[in-house]
């Protein structure tokens, strides 16, 4: 068993996801405490992964891995972990990380901590701060054994700390990918809508707290006065109050506006993943324990309708 930290990077269409750099940056701190190295691993076909600040970067290059296949990815990662024997394996708590972290834990019998917001080493032991109850509380856990698997919430660490120029080494798959029972069929991407929320400088984003479809008009009026566009969290889209092209989050679109004003959004990890890079985040929510207040630059625990109407009057 080594003291290395293995970071499973994520990519889509050959582009490395931001959370991968976040994890490498945090992994550098942990590896220094363990006395090991950071090894970034990317799976895919033709993936350019030369931008990490890791001690080593491995790219498992195989056509079967060009699109995410949980069975294929899981088998490759399991074989690499058996070969490298790391002290810690880090995943993103994302749509793919949920599959893979659970797979690896079940296959190896090693403990897995999900929803991780922070990691540190205390007296040579790994301690993980994991959010529970929708992010309203943090639980500190110390995984037992010689290896741990941790899935990290996007936006928990600084991505710049994980950027560098370590050259990537392409390797063959350590396990045969013939005879898979799961196959990739099709990637269904959001269709174009009336606006592209990813290109907007200002977004007024509404959540379940808006109450009903009839109240969307208030947000649209405020957006018009501010020169903004209305976006939403998943519950609003699932309810049919706004089209899916307006959805921000892990299963929607990632945005990076100069202003992100949130009305009635609690701040679930899935939503944070889509808007954490906004320059200015303002949250309005009556729940003082809403996790969004952990990331917002400004916030108010008041009725969103009162705030919206007061802003309209001032504007």
What are the tens digits of pLDDT across the range 166-220? Answer: 999 999 999 999 999 999 998 876 565 668 898 899 999 999 999 999 999 999 9
Q: How many domains does the chain have?
A: 2
Supply the pLDDT for residue 196.
86
For residues 156 and 207, membership in a common domain is answered with: no
For residues 274 and 144, membership in a common domain is answered with: no
Mean pLDDT score of the chain: 93
Q: Give the whole-angstrom CA distance, residue 198 versus residue 298.
A: 22
Both tokens of residue 139?
A: 């639980």
**Structure confidence at residue 273 as a pLDDT band (50, 70, 90):** confident
Give the distance from CA 180 to its chain's centroid. Answer: 28
For residues 274 and 166, membership in a common domain is answered with: no
- Tell whether the model's pLDDT for residue 117 goes beyond 70: yes
Average of pLDDT values for 40-44?
Answer: 97
Supply the pLDDT for residue 38.
98
179 assigned to some structural domain: no
Both tokens of residue 128?
A: 């993980």
For residues 165 and 215, membership in a common domain is answered with: no
Supply the pLDDT for residue 270.
85
For residues 223 and 285, membership in a common domain is answered with: yes
Average of pLDDT values for 87-92?
Answer: 97
Q: Give the whole-angstrom CA distance, residue 126 versus residue 143.
A: 7
187 assigned to some structural domain: no
Give the distance from CA 169 to its chain's centroid. Answer: 25
Query: From edge to edge, which strands make up the β-sheet containing 202-206?
Result: 229-232, 202-206, 259-263, 281-284, 298-300
190 assigned to some structural domain: no
Average of pLDDT values for 66-71?
Answer: 94
Nearest to 255 by CA among 198, 201, 191: 198
CATH assignment of the domain containing 88: 3.40.50.620
For residues 77 and 23, membership in a common domain is answered with: yes
- Tell whether the model's pLDDT for residue 14 goes beyond 90: no
Return the residue matching tokens 């856990």.
141
What is the per-residue pLDDT across 210-269, written as a single tens digit (0 to 9) for each? 999 999 999 999 999 999 999 999 999 999 999 988 999 987 888 999 999 999 999 988
For residues 229 and 302, membership in a common domain is answered with: yes
Burial tier of 248 (Cβ tally within 10 Å: 0-12, 13-18, 19+):
buried
* Structural domain range at position 288: 197-314
181 assigned to some structural domain: no
176 assigned to some structural domain: no
Supply the pLDDT for residue 190.
59
Return the residue matching tokens 């897995």.
112
Q: What percent of the chain has pLDDT over 90?
A: 80
What is the per-residue pLDDT across 135-153, written as a single tens digit (0 to 9) for each? 778 899 999 999 999 999 8
The pTM (predicted TM-score) of the whole model is 0.75
For residues 226 and 102, membership in a common domain is answered with: no
- Tell whether the model's pLDDT for residue 108 goes beyond 70: yes
Q: Give the whole-angstrom CA distance, residue 103 versus residue 98.
A: 9
Supply the pLDDT for residue 149.
98
Q: What percent of the chain has pLDDT over 70?
A: 98
Asked whether the beta carbons of 130 and 118 are under 8 A apart, the reply is: no
């Amino acid at each position: 068993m080594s003291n290395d930290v293995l970071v499973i990077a994520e990519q889509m269409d050959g582009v490395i996801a931001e959370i991968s750099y976040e994890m490498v940056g945090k992994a550098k701190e942990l590896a220094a405490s363990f006395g090991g190295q950071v090894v970034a691993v990317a799976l895919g076909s033709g993936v350019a992964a030369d931008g990490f600040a890791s001690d080593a970067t491995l790219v498992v290059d195989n056509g079967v891995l060009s699109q995410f296949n949980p069975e294929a990815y899981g088998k490759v990662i399991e074989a690499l972990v058996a070969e490298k024997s790391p002290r810690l394996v880090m995943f993103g708590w994302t749509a793919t990380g949920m599959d893979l972290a659970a797979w690896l834990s079940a296959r190896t019998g090693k403990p897995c901590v999900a929803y991780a917001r922070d990691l540190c080493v205390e007296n040579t032991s790994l301690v993980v701060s994991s959010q529970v109850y929708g992010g309203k509380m943090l639980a500190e856990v110390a995984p037992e054994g010689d290896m741990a698997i941790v899935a990290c919430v996007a936006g928990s660490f600084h991505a710049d700390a994980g950027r560098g120029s370590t050259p990537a080494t392409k390797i063959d798959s350590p396990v045969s990918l013939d005879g898979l029972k799961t196959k990739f069929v099709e990637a269904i991407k959001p269709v174009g809508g009336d606006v592209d929320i990813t290109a907007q400088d200002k977004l007024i984003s509404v959540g379940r707290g808006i109450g009903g479809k009839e109240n969307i008009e208030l947000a649209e009026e405020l957006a018009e006065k501010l020169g903004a566009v209305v976006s939403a969290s998943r519950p609003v889209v699932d309810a049919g109050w706004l089209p899916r092209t307006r959805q921000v989050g892990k299963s929607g679109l990632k945005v990076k506006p100069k202003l992100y004003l949130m009305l009635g959004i609690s701040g679930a990890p899935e939503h944070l993943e889509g808007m954490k890079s906004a320059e200015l985040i303002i949250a309005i929510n009556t729940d003082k324990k809403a996790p969004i207040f952990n990331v917002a630059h400004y916030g108010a625990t008041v009725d969103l309708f009162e705030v919206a109407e007061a802003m309209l009057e001032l504007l």
